[in-house]
Amino acid sequence: MTTDRILQGKVVVVTGAGAGIGRDLALAMAREGARVVVNDVGDAAHQVVAEISSAGGEALASVESVSEAAAAQRIVDAAVEAFGRIDGVVNNAGILRDRIFHKMGADEWDAVIRVHLYGSYYVSRAAANHFKEQGGGAFVHMTSTSGLIGNLGQANYNAAKMGIAALSKSIALDMQKFNVRSNCIAPFAWTAMTSSIPTDTPDQVARVEKFKQMTPAKIAPLAVYLLSDAAAGVNAQIFAVRNNEVFLMSQPRPVRSVHRQEGWTARSLAEHGMPALKAAFVPMERSADVFSWDPV
């Protein structure tokens, strides 16, 4: 057992930690000295806890659903009751209900929004007062380039993931005075969740083959770092991890403007304003179009 582990003494909650990215995050954080609340709605949470315990770490299983406020509160309460405090939250829990937009049902929309966006809010809100009172804490939220850039057939997921990016920024702004940090990671990894991505076209098949090269364990080092004291100066940022690549993602800012002293009319916008702006239009790209090269 080393004494220089980067999360030594910290208590961390990882949601959706029974499999995929969440499992690797929980295992990595335990290896780095954190006591981990492994949250997942299935029995897999107990299996991950057993793995951590067998390796000499400390962990607690939680099978509560992040999609309900009271359940999310119980996740955080369990960490405080078992380990005396909470220092970090990783909002990783997620589901997919992919459907082309004009065929998407309200139930498919609601299910994804509740787990991803509501879940991230509920768990973060439950932890926020503890962070405020102790004068520090860190959030890591999982967003996605499918939301930040775009993807077909995932309006529910994409909307939730863009919402998470805005939620993270709001938490960072509102809680920076309490030494609380909030950052996002957009992970590229082949997991049980991404395995349901449609493969109906050659482009989709090619995209999935690229995903299979990227293991969940590659996401863990950045998440561990962001929860550590070494990341004290990192706040309100969005990162992406793709195999051995780490990206700092841009956030919306003005890119071009037009001005008319007398103000605009619909006609003058059509004749002058929009043609002047058109050269700077954001292309209708998908995540796979932007990240078009093979993983490094």
Instruction: Look at the block and give the residue holding tokens 């690549």.
Output: 245
Known catalytic residue at 122: no
Residues in the chain: 296
Residue corresponding to tokens 């050269």 = 279
Q: Decide: helix, strand or coil at residue 152.
A: coil
Ordered alpha helix ranges (H), 114-265: 119-134, 145-148, 155-175, 202-211, 220-227
Could you tell me if 19 and 195 are in contact, meaning their C-beta atoms sit under 8 angstroms apart? no
Can you list the positions of beta strands (E) in the chain? 11-14, 35-39, 59-62, 88-91, 137-142, 180-188, 238-242, 245-248
What does the alpha-carbon distance between residue 283 and residue 153 come to, in Å, rounded to a whole number?
18
Catalytic one among 118, 121, 157, 225?
157
Query: Are residues 1 and 28 in contact, defined by beta-carbon separation less than 8 angstroms?
Result: no
Kindly list the catalytic residues: 157
